[in-house]
Structure 1
């Protein structure tokens, strides 16, 4: 199997390729610029040679005598290092040349010298300068001087200064290689030493994990923008399709959910209600501090099961309270018999029966639903054991209702009465003692449940918070508490009703 190259080595190889290409391009540009500078310098040098010869008085006066003109032309060529120096008359005939065979021939080349203007440029393989020769008396152009040097090619300038060029290229190469090594090391550190195929596998596994687990997962950046969300989280939070990239503050979420997602509300297993669903959220900040990951689970079914268990627990507590109360009454009757107070025994039994019959009669005459009536009768015994009087409001009236509404009423009444008992449990009885009043009124389109007690009630600033958070003041040692009011709110909202609190008075509306 072919061994994979590491990310660092791949980056280094590509960086070296880029650096090499860049150096080649810079070197080529340098050679071209140097060659251009070399040609320009050679043109100026040839122009100086040609001007020197053209200014010679002997050349100006003896334009027709080639033997006298050969000497100054050859002298100029030898001293300047030019390849050749030619003198031509006004008909372009060569009068003086280092090549004797060229004398008398016509030089066919482009020039402006015979028009009185100097010319420099390339002629074939040579760099030439043409300078006009003026007659000293008439100042008429009667010839020209051509000074030329062979064009050494494009690399001549660079080869004249090879040390400098190579030095600069070597420095650039060292800088490029060093930068490539540092970049490769930095990238490797930032990717935690993972190679490209490992990063690809990690991303693929993450996607499979996110969309395969049954828990919702939401990723947030440092500005509380959603960076990732799996399908389950999107369904539970009812997020729009374009939620990724948007801030939590921009989405239509309730304040409690925003607080948990942004970290303003801290703690584990934070309870949140979202569109009638009870969610448990846990927020884990990223170690770098740039964001967090939030996991969420649907606790609705679990809380429904917990509610059923709580109902069983309440029934057990009620039976225990009744058994305790019954045992106390038996002990009292036994004591009276031992004292032979038979009349008092009869009177005590009659008193107990009358009180029980009175409460059952009061509840049965006002409450037509058997489940609700049974709940109230059982709660009275539990309240009596805790030193609290449970009474029914005088305007209470409820007929038979369907099973769904009956179950919701039992849940709402049970939680509200339990909430009141817990609120009164820490208070000492004074005056008329501790009491709870329950009112159930059936209207044309809804059932109103009102539970009030003799406790201090809920502070006005917490009137909404108690329902949104599943607020509780019960001891943490009792387990996960405070969800009862949240369940009441959920049941009321599901039916299109509402629940509110004012002081120690809770009012629930359940349409039917």
Structure 2
């Protein structure tokens, strides 16, 4: 029952305290075992050393010629005169001298003289002339004694010398030696307690201050979440080895192996090219268009930071084609809506003007206005349809032309613009995104500058080995502080938050097609964006 209560009490403690108590209990057991072992070794060594000391003293005393003569003559006063000085200098409890029969001739207690030695351990010395150590109980209690025979000149045993140390005296010496170990042992125990506390705190920190059951539940939840998300997820450690990969990632990368067989592999053995995983390890990447195993994806990379050092990364990615399909549909719908709105706005103003002229019966003026507008629009439409053979691009430019007029701007096409076809390194949707975002950016920045003109110039030409796209606005220009970061996601020259994506997309597509972007200042106001996108070798 007691053990069960202790077990229940222990189980209710926090994991940190359980670790501390377990280490404390183990350390205490180890310390007690070490103490017992040291005590036993010290006791054994002490008994051996004291026994040898008693034996040597007994042998030295028994060999004294004066003592031999005194024992032969049974001269008790002389024996006493010889032994008393020795006993005062010896640390032995007693020194006893006996005759050949074992009767005491000298003893620390005069009343014991004449009595037989007790303990029954004198026979080997008296009858076999041996010197030895024994432990027996005598008149002074149990003692460790060294015995040696007294022999005359012929070798005959005529007596015996016994030098003894009581076990109580040995116990006091043992306690003295053990007590000298108590302080270092106590200090060692305190050090162990401190280390146990620090270790338990370290374990708690490594477990994110959670209990094992909480950590287990979190891992299960994360595992379910890891497998349920729509995006592909790959976790790698600081050595770029795979530690986790979900089912979506394996499907998108055409990997047939289960997760257990992929864990531990270097990422460049599974996904190529590997530059996305190794470039700028301290920097996070977000929504970059890259190629994984010959498939275009939009990928992000987040570092796992522990103690201000990257200990791994989590890579999320999704099929670019899936996003492109939705993006294309949205951009087409938006483009159609913008075109219709711009045309509606333009025609509504024109119709209102014509209706007013007709009401005033100015028929000639109304007819002239109709012809003027028709010729102006038709000239631009003819230029676009003739010089831009790509229908998607032509449709975009027509919509942007009407959008400019709706905003009170003028989109001017360079006469040298001509596009027979566009490089296949980018899809139609990506080309539309590049041109559309450049023009939208030019419109927005031009509207912000009240000092500049309202003209936006556009040049698109594909007659050489590359496509050249140049858009010049009359806006406020780009601050030098952000010029180096203008193509980063979220960076914008506008105040409202609905910007910072367009130029980032343009830059991503241009780099994807191995092209270049040059940003220059326009005269007197604004910025010129020039793009160079090469044709592929097959084209």
Asked if TM exceeds 0.5, the reply is yes
**Which consecutive residues of structure 1, in runs of 5 or more, have no partner in the other structure?**
88-93, 111-120, 244-249, 262-269
Secondary structure, in 3 states, of the residue corresponding to 1:148?
strand
Q: Which residue of 2 aligns with 1:317?
A: 338
1:448 to 460, 464, 468: 468
Structure 2 distance, partners of 1:329, 1:178, is: 93
Gaps of at least 5 residues in structure 2 are 105-115, 137-143, 254-262, 268-274, 522-527
For residues 503 and 264 of structure 2, the distance between their equivalents in structure 1, rounded to whole angstroms, comes to: 29
Deviation at 1:357, TM superposition (A): 1.6
Deviation at 1:67, TM superposition (A): 4.2
> Of the candidates 432, 456, 460, which is equivalent to residue 436 of structure 1?
456
Structure 1 equivalent of residue 170 of structure 2: 157
Per-residue Cα deviation, 1:112-154 (whole angstroms, up to 9, x for no partner): xxxxxxxxx637986436599999xxxx99999853357878x
Q: Does the alignment pair 1:72 with 2:79?
A: yes
Q: In structure 2, do the counterparts of structure 1 residues 104 and 391 end up closer, same or farther at CA, with 3 Å as the change threshold? A: closer
Change (3 A) 1:149 1:197: farther
Q: Tell me how far 1:304 sits from its aligned partner.
A: 6.1
Query: In the aligned structure 2, how far is the partner of 1:212 from the partner of 1:468?
Result: 31
Partner of 2:355: 334
Q: Distance in 2 between the 1:196 and 1:158 partners?
A: 50
Q: Is 1:30 the counterpart of 2:17 in the alignment?
A: no
CA distance in 2, matches of 1:18, 1:252: 46
C-alpha separation between the residues in 2 aligned to 1:51 and 1:370? 125
Q: How far apart, CA to CA, are the structure 2 residues paired with 1:31 and 1:74?
A: 40
Give the whole-Å Cα distance in 2 for the aligned partners of 1:407 and 1:193.
Answer: 49
Q: Where does residue 443 of structure 2 map in the other structure?
A: 421
Is 1:392–2:413 an aligned residue pair?
yes
Q: Write the distance in 1 (CA, Å) between the matches of 2:96 and 2:181.
A: 36
Specify whether residues 195 and 172 from structure 1 end up closer, same or farther in structure 2 by C-alpha distance, changes over 3 A only: farther
How far the C-alpha of 1:290 sits from its partner, in A, is: 8.5
The answer on 1:506 being equivalent to 2:506 is no
**Is residue 2:377 matched to residue 1:356?**
yes
Distance 1:510 1:465, change over 3 A: farther
Aligned positions, number: 466
Q: 1:252 to 1:181 in 2, by over 3 A?
A: closer
In 2: Cα distance, 1:406 partner to 1:483 partner: 19
Give the aligned CA root-mean-square deviation in angstroms. 5.5
Tell me the alpha carbon deviations over residues 6-36 of structure 1, each in whole angstroms, 9 at most, x when there is no partner. 2545753564344234323323322432443
Distance 2:369 2:124 in 1: 161
Alignment of 1:148 with 2:162, yes or no, is: yes
Provide, for residues 400-443 of structure 1, a one-character-per-residue CA deviation record: whole Å limited to 9, x for no partner: 5699754443332222211211121112265xx32122222223
Tell whether the 8 Å contact from 1:390 to 1:438 is kept in structure 2 after alignment. yes
CA gap 1:162/1:494 in 2 versus in 1, 3 angstroms = closer
**Shift, 1:379, TM fit:** 1.5
* Distance in 2 separating the partners of 1:303 and 1:355: 36
Distance of 2:149 and 2:166 partners within structure 1: 23
Secondary structure of the 1:467 match is coil
The 2-side partners of 1:364 and 1:102 are apart by: 136
- Once residues 431 and 310 of structure 2 are traced to their aligned partners in structure 1, the CA distance between those partners, rounded to angstroms, is 44
TM-score, length-scaled by structure 1 = 0.68
* Aligned residue in 1 for 2:97: 85
Shift of 1:355: 0.7
After superposition, what is the alpha-carbon deviation per residue over 1:321-350, rounded to whole angstroms, capped at 9, x for unaligned?
A: 221111111222222223332222222222
Do 1:219 and 1:293's aligned partners in 2 also have CA atoms closer than 8 Å?
A: yes
What secondary structure does 2:361 align onto? coil
**Compared with structure 1, are the counterparts of its residues 186 and 253 closer, same or farther at alpha carbon in structure 2 (3 Å cutoff)?**
closer
CA contact (8 A) 2:299 2:317 kept: yes
Find the counterpart in structure 2 of residue 409 from structure 1.
431
Quote the Cα distance in structure 1 between the aligned partners of 2:323 and 2:342: 28
Cα 1:311–1:378 shift into 2, 3 Å: same
